[in-house]
Structure 1
Amino acid sequence: MINDLPIRKIIHVDMDAFYASVAQMDNPDLKGKPIAVGGGGTRGVVSAASYEARKFGVKSAMSGRLAIKLCPELIFVKTDFERYTEISKRIRNIFFDYTELVEPLSLDEAYLDVTENKLGFPSASLIAEEIRQRIFREVGLTASAGISINKFIAKVACDYNKPNGQHTVNPEDVLQFLADLDIRKFYGVGKVTAEKMYLKGIFTGKDLKAKSLDYLEDHFGKSGSYYYHVVRGIHNSEVRPNRIRKSLAAERTFNENLSSEIFMLEKLEHIAEEVSKRLHKNNVSGKTITLKIKYSDFTLQTRSKTLAYFVRDKAIILETAKDLLYQNTLNNSVRLLGISMSNLNTKPQKTEPLKENTVSVQLQFKF
């Protein structure tokens, strides 16, 4: 089927070990050494790890205790989000020199649509290379990039030559690229889903493509349609410069487990204050308040309440969180409390749905 829409030129840029690399850049004594951001103490959790630390198996979301066991020479450094935000803005300004269609995913990665770019460059690959060179020259950090016809393939391609590299999947190579792809590398296929797919004989994109839409929807629910289309190179999500924020949250992990609600109330007050500050900073309010409780045995529980009006006031957030805390008895002592605000008063703009496109024909399109 001939595509009646122009194939887009999408770049996914991902900074290499961003938090850890910033720490090493700011402190030359840390260069070449295994470091972990966060994670210090007996109850800490690793936020990020340098590539030197990753060689020992240290990775994000790992407990600091396990990380130091894997890498006895590991150096812990504190998180510094003000610094990360400052660096992220400088990187983003480089992106804007090429296109206004920049969709940040986090402080350290973003999608760029350079189909129509400010400099009139015909090659997305050359734009990605120049952006990476400028980030290194002007900021002092390395970045990796994936380039292809849509966001899904660009993101997958970005991991191919990390760190400090890039990979392009040209339009004519998309279907073979996806067919050869390990199912674990499909963005959106987590560990549990991958295991489920293995049991059904799905190990690569080729195996996935052999399954019908009905089969995938029967076995994987709503995600079945997503898997059916992306393995055929169909992913029409546009690069959206103004992503709609769906929630705001803050949480705290305690040095010692808390067993009494009285001690938890003080902690909740600080957390509610932080949530309120973030709501004011982003100029949004919300209706649904959720209390997150993680017990000492690591089981997780959430309790939510939706108000009849939008709020961002600390007092209301705190009182609602207190009500949720007393809603049920606690199952155990508590190691973490969190408050999140969702159902925000952000109204997404309606856009016309894109028609399904395919990559079954080769176009004169320079990547």
Structure 2
Amino acid sequence: MQIQIDYTKLKDNKVICADAKSFFATVEIFSRGLDPMKSMLAVVGDLSRRGSVVLASSHALKERYHIKTGSRLYEIPDDRRIHIVPARMSLYIDQSMQILEIINRFAPIEAIQPYSIDEVFFTTLGMERIFGSTYDVAMSLKRSVYRELGLLLGVGIGPNKFLAKVVLDN
């Protein structure tokens, strides 16, 4: 016997998955007063070890030299325009908490589920009368985070966490 499910009767959770793009690198760029569009910067786990892992790289460094998360310190070319910096986890945690505080303006704390330091899920279910559609919330969130922190957020919207993440990644 095959079970039939009437999906129209299931609650639409209106989930947003938000992810700060190149989070560690972007935080470092802004904290150092560098140009986010042009600066080539790599955040490295341990500067004293040539085989240390690149934890994040700026868009410009990815584009020009194909250095990305998981690359090694020794792969970074000797170019005086490249900033190689150590990881500052307390700074990233502080910025992550500020993002969560901004999200909390749009959703109650019970509806917010951090996934990692730079990625979070939250639902806007029941908030439509205050903030508009889930899409409106997502766009307002992106603008607020950029205006206040200088960080770019990618967002995915779906009826559940899985589909919101799939939308974000595509």
> Is TM more than 0.5 here?
yes
Give unmatched runs, 5+ long, in structure 2. Answer: none
SS in 2 for 1:103: strand
The corresponding residue for 2:60 is 52
The corresponding residue for 1:2 is 6
The corresponding residue for 2:42 is 36
Asked if the contact 1:98–1:119 (Cα under 8 Å) also holds between the matched residues in 2, the reply is no
- Report deviation, 1:159: 2.9
Which amino acid letter does the alignment assign opposite residue 44 of structure 1? S
SS in 2 for 1:120: helix
1:99 corresponds to 2:107: yes
Runs of 4+ in 1 over 4 A off after TM superposition: none
1:16 corresponds to 2:21: yes
Asked if the contact 2:128–2:134 (Cα under 8 Å) also holds between the matched residues in 1, the reply is no
The corresponding residue for 1:86 is 94
Normalised to the residue count of structure 1, the TM-score between the two structures is 0.41
Separation of aligned partners in 2, 1:33 and 1:54:
11
The corresponding residue for 1:117 is 127
Which amino acid letter does the alignment assign opposite residue 27 of structure 1? R
Separation of aligned partners in 2, 1:8 and 1:25:
35
The corresponding residue for 1:152 is 162
Separation of aligned partners in 1, 2:25 and 2:94:
15
Asked if the contact 1:12–1:154 (Cα under 8 Å) also holds between the matched residues in 2, the reply is yes
1:64 corresponds to 2:73: yes
Normalised to the residue count of structure 2, the TM-score between the two structures is 0.84
Separation of aligned partners in 2, 1:30 and 1:138:
16
Which amino acid letter does the alignment assign opposite residue 124 of structure 1? T
Which amino acid letter does the alignment assign opposite residue 53 of structure 2? V
Which amino acid letter does the alignment assign opposite residue 33 of structure 2? P
1:130 corresponds to 2:136: no
- Report deviation, 1:118: 7.7
Which amino acid letter does the alignment assign opposite residue 69 of structure 2? S
With over 3 angstroms needed to count, the CA separation of the structure-2 counterparts of 1:99 and 1:43, relative to structure 1, is same
- Report deviation, 1:120: 3.2
Separation of aligned partners in 2, 1:97 and 1:149:
21
Asked if the contact 1:98–1:114 (Cα under 8 Å) also holds between the matched residues in 2, the reply is yes
Separation of aligned partners in 1, 2:115 and 2:90:
18
The corresponding residue for 1:273 is none
The Cα RMSD (Å) is: 1.9
Pair member with larger Rg:
1
With over 3 angstroms needed to count, the CA separation of the structure-2 counterparts of 1:151 and 1:2, relative to structure 1, is same
SS in 2 for 1:36: strand
Which amino acid letter does the alignment assign opposite residue 99 of structure 2? I
| Deviation readout 1:193-237 (Å, 9 max, x if unpaired) | xxxxxxxxxxxxxxxxxxxxxxxxxxxxxxxxxxxxxxxxxxxxx
SS in 2 for 1:42: coil
- Report deviation, 1:111: 0.4
Between the aligned residues of both structures, percent identity stands at 26
Separation of aligned partners in 2, 1:82 and 1:28:
18
Asked if the contact 1:14–1:108 (Cα under 8 Å) also holds between the matched residues in 2, the reply is yes
Which amino acid letter does the alignment assign opposite residue 23 of structure 1? E
- Report deviation, 1:103: 0.7
SS in 2 for 1:47: strand
SS in 1 for 2:131: coil
| Deviation readout 1:158-202 (Å, 9 max, x if unpaired) | 134xxxxxxxxxxxxxxxxxxxxxxxxxxxxxxxxxxxxxxxxxx
- Report deviation, 1:29: 3.4
